[in-house]
């Protein structure tokens, strides 16, 4: 289906599905390592790019291509490159688009593994990295150098749900001959489309909401054909690629993405408002709340506010762990975006590898609890949390 006049939910179900009598109702899985050619000449033409065709599933597979086409349509991108994980998507973006000596400005309000990737690994290969506060535009401006080539952020951020001003940051990046890369994992294209606001590249952990049920690991990078050809070149050579079975799972996940994100958002907003009324809760971080310092910016950039919130509880880590351990309904795991409600303690899990100083700078306090609000009945979630507070 190539007609882009369809609405989002229709695109999420039909894009990339080339119907035949054999696969009229569901996309096929192509679990093969390589593909057979009609002749040596045929193989040579496909390998040279003179003729379209599938070569080797490390970089060409029909099921993966269907997922890439569908997600690209939803994000409004010219092209999508699927990867083995969300972290592989971040790495692939940098390896495809940056060179030794380039400078990157990164929001310190990102997933902990992204900080480790930039600071401990990419820096070893000659990339310069500076971390700034996501919401402080002056810090972004001050960090720009003549060799700055990329600005990187999550919005909303993990786990404090801070919002980055995507349009303003895109203008800043482009005024300095840099690229703006946005991690759109919390919102997905169902709630936010950074490319339409000026971003150059969007990255995803497909493991999260794009799947929606915690079944598979995968990632994606999206942008213009020109930029994605460079990204694809790294995937083709280095091999951080998505497998066909995982791609099929993500195709199925995308079919319900719009409905799920609406339901996640509704549950999260009600839970966040309820948490604000609890005496043991010091602060609730959720952009759907009027009390959130960037509530208006979130309203401008997003169609809804998503399913992730965090809150600080009196009593530090001991109280946070007690709350988590007391839950009978929520799953204790570090994933997000599942139909099941998930609770975790960022300071000792997702951001556990950060130094105490890095945690302090990123606002990852000992009493902080992150909640990925699921699709259970909201009254059951509140009842479970109420018991955990006692």
Q: Domain boundaries in the chain?
A: 8-255, 257-389
Place of tokens 């699927």: 82
Cα gap 307→304, rounded to integer Å = 9
Q: Identify whether the C-beta of residue 89 lies closer than 8 Å to the C-beta of residue 217.
A: no
Fold designation for 8-255? 3.40.640
Report the interhelical angle of 244-255 vs 257-276 (nearest 10°).
70
pLDDT per residue, tens digit, the chain (390 aa), is 555 589 998 998 888 766 555 455 678 899 999 999 899 999 999 888 899 989 888 999 999 999 999 999 999 999 999 999 999 999 999 999 999 999 999 999 898 899 999 999 999 999 999 999 999 999 999 999 999 999 999 999 999 999 999 999 999 999 999 999 999 999 999 999 999 999 999 999 999 999 999 999 999 999 999 999 999 999 999 999 999 999 999 999 999 999 999 999 999 999 999 999 999 999 999 999 999 999 999 999 999 999 999 999 999 999 999 999 999 999 999 899 999 999 999 999 988 888 888 888 888 899 999 999 999 999 999 999 998 887
- 177: DSSP letter: T
Sheet strand arrangement including 368-372: 281-285, 308-313, 368-372, 342-344, 331-332
Interatomic CA distance for residues 117 and 213, integer angstroms: 26
Residue 308's DSSP bridge partners are 372
Record: fold of 257-389 = 3.90.1150
Taking the C-alpha atoms of residue 180 and residue 106, their distance in angstroms, rounded to an integer, is 10
Separation of alpha carbons 14 and 132, rounded Å:
40
Task: Spell out the residues 6+ positions from residue 337 whose beta carbon is closer than 8 angstroms to its own.
Answer: 185, 207, 208, 209, 210, 211, 212, 214, 307, 372
Task: Quote the pLDDT of residue 75.
Answer: 98
Phi, psi of 222 (to 5 degrees): -135, 145
Predicted confidence at residue 26, as pLDDT, reads 74
Give the pLDDT of residue 281: 97
pLDDT attached to residue 17: 64
Phi and psi torsions of 102, nearest 5°:
-75, 155
Residue 70 burial by CB count (10 A; 0-12/13-18/19+): exposed, middle or buried? buried
Q: Measured in whole angstroms, how far is the alpha carbon of residue 8 from the centre of its chain?
A: 18
DSSP string, 260-329: HHHHHHHHHHHHHHHHHT-TTEEEEE-TTSTTSTTHHHHHHH-SS--SEEEEEETTHHHHHHHHHHH-SS
Which helix (H) or strand (E) segment is 138 a member of?
helix 137-143
Confidence at residue 20, expressed as pLDDT on a 0 to 100 scale: 55
Sign of the alpha-carbon torsion through 58, 22, 3, 53: positive
| CB of 364 closer than 8 Å to CB of 351 | yes
The pLDDT score that the predictor gives to residue 207 is: 98
Q: CB-based contacts of 343: which residues, under 8 Å, 6+ apart?
A: 323, 324, 327, 330, 331, 332, 369, 370, 371, 372
Return the H-helix or E-strand segment holding 116.
helix 112-116
């Amino acid at each position: 289906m190539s007609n882009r006049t369809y609405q989002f939910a229709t695109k999420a179900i039909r894009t990339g599905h080339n119907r035949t009598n054999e696969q009229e109702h569901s996309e096929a899985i192509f679990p093969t390592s390589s593909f057979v050619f009609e002749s040596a000449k045929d193989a040579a033409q496909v390998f040279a790019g003179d003729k379209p065709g599938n070569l080797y599933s490390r970089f060409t597979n029909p099921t993966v291509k269907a997922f890439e086409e569908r997600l690209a349509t939803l994000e409004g991108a010219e092209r999508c490159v699927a990867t083995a994980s969300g972290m592989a998507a971040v790495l692939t973006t940098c390896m495809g688009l940056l060179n030794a000596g380039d400078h990157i400005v990164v929001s310190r309000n990102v997933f902990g593994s992204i900080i480790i990737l930039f600071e401990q690994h990419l820096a070893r290969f000659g990339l310069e990295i500076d971390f700034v506060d996501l919401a402080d535009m002056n810090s972004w401006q001050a960090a720009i150098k003549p060799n700055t080539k990329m600005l990187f952020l999550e919005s909303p951020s993990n786990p404090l749900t801070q919002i980055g001003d995507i349009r303003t940051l895109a203008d800043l990046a482009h005024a300095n001959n840099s690229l703006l890369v946005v991690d759109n994992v919390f919102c997905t294209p169902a709630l936010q489309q950074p490319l339409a606001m000026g971003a150059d590249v969007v990255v995803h952990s497909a493991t999260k909401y794009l799947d929606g049920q915690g079944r598979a690991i995968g990632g994606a990078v999206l942008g213009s054909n020109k930029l994605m050809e460079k990204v694809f070149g790294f995937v083709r050579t280095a091999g951080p690629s998505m497998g066909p079975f995982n791609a099929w799972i993500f195709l199925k996940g995308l079919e319900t993405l719009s409905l799920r994100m609406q339901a996640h958002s509704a549950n999260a907003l009600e839970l966040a408002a309820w948490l604000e009324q609890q005496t043991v809760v010091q602060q609730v971080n959720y952009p759907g709340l009027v009390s959130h310092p960037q509530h208006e910016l979130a309203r401008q950039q997003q169609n809804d506010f998503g399913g992730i919130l965090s809150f600080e509880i009196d009593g530090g880590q001991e109280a946070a762990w007690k709350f988590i351990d007391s839950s009978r309904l929520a799953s204790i795991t570090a994933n997000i975006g599942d139909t099941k409600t998930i609770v975790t303690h960022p300071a000792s899990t997702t951001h556990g590898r950060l130094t105490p100083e890095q945690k302090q700078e990123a606002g990852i306090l000992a009493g902080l609890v992150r909640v990925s609000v699921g699709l259970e009945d909201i009254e059951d979630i509140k009842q479970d949390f109420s018991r955990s507070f006692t």
